[in-house]
């Protein structure tokens, strides 16, 4: 998406809820700074102590909420929301359910929709098997870190058994031909 004031890519998306209808602005970093500074100059010149305290309180609350959210981890794969924010990738299909409340606005902003409309792979099943494998691999890694090699070997055997039972995608592709 391009900036509404110039042709650079828009990196700031601002929604104003001041009037009857929400107004969306898509701006590049430079134009966003100018826009925000322009809005600040329209504010009263002498800020009240109440206004300053309210603004600080909102910032503190937002930071506290983000810190709590960043510590949440998926019980299946162990990825934290902070890791997702840094990497831009989720760890397993279960993450979409676990972090749903936080992901829905993000997905809606990126794709414009929150419901998939389009083709799906023929063999799109087996997400439970994949989630179980991800969970087992995470547990094995944790067992190795604790130096509990007996449990790690049991988990390794379970992983091998699960991988042998689930058909690989390469095998499914050759069966269809």
Indicate whether this model's pTM tops 0.85: no
- 57 assigned to some structural domain: no
- 147 assigned to some structural domain: yes
Mean predicted lDDT score pLDDT of the chain: 77
- 64 assigned to some structural domain: no
Over residues 77-136, the pLDDT tens digits come to 888 888 888 888 888 888 888 888 888 888 888 888 777 777 766 665 555 677 788 888
Whole-number pLDDT of residue 140: 92
- 145 assigned to some structural domain: yes
- 48 assigned to some structural domain: no
- Paired with 25 in beta bridges are 14
- 38 assigned to some structural domain: no
User: How far are the Cα atoms of 10, 89, 174 from residue 27, in angstroms, in the given order?
Assistant: 5, 25, 49
- Residue 92 and residue 165: Cα distance in Å, rounded? 20
Q: Which domain holds residue 151?
A: 127-167
Mark 9-31 as b/e (b = at least 16 C-beta within 10 Å).
ebebeeeeeeeeeeeebbbbeeb
- 110 assigned to some structural domain: no
- 117 assigned to some structural domain: no
Number of domains observed in the structure of the chain: 1
């Amino acid at each position: 998406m391009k900036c509404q004031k110039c042709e650079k890519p828009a990196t700031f998306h601002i929604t104003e809820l001041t009037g009857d209808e929400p107004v969306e602005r898509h701006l590049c970093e430079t134009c966003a700074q100018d826009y925000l500074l322009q809005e600040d100059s329209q504010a009263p010149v002498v800020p009240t102590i109440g206004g300053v305290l309210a603004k600080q309180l909102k910032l503190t609350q937002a930071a506290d909420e983000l810190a709590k959210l960043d510590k949440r981890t998926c019980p299946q794969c162990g990825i934290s929301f902070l890791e997702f924010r840094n990497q831009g990738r989720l760890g397993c299909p279960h993450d979409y359910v676990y972090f749903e409340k936080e992901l829905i606005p993000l997905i809606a902003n990126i794709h414009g929709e929150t419901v998939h409309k389009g083709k799906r792979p023929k063999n799109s099943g087996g997400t439970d098997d994949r989630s179980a494998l991800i969970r087992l691999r995470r547990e094995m890694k944790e067992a190795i870190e604790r130096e509990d090699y007996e449990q790690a070997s049991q988990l390794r055997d379970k992983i091998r058994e699960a991988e042998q039972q689930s058909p690989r995608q390469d095998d499914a592709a050759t069966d269809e031909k």
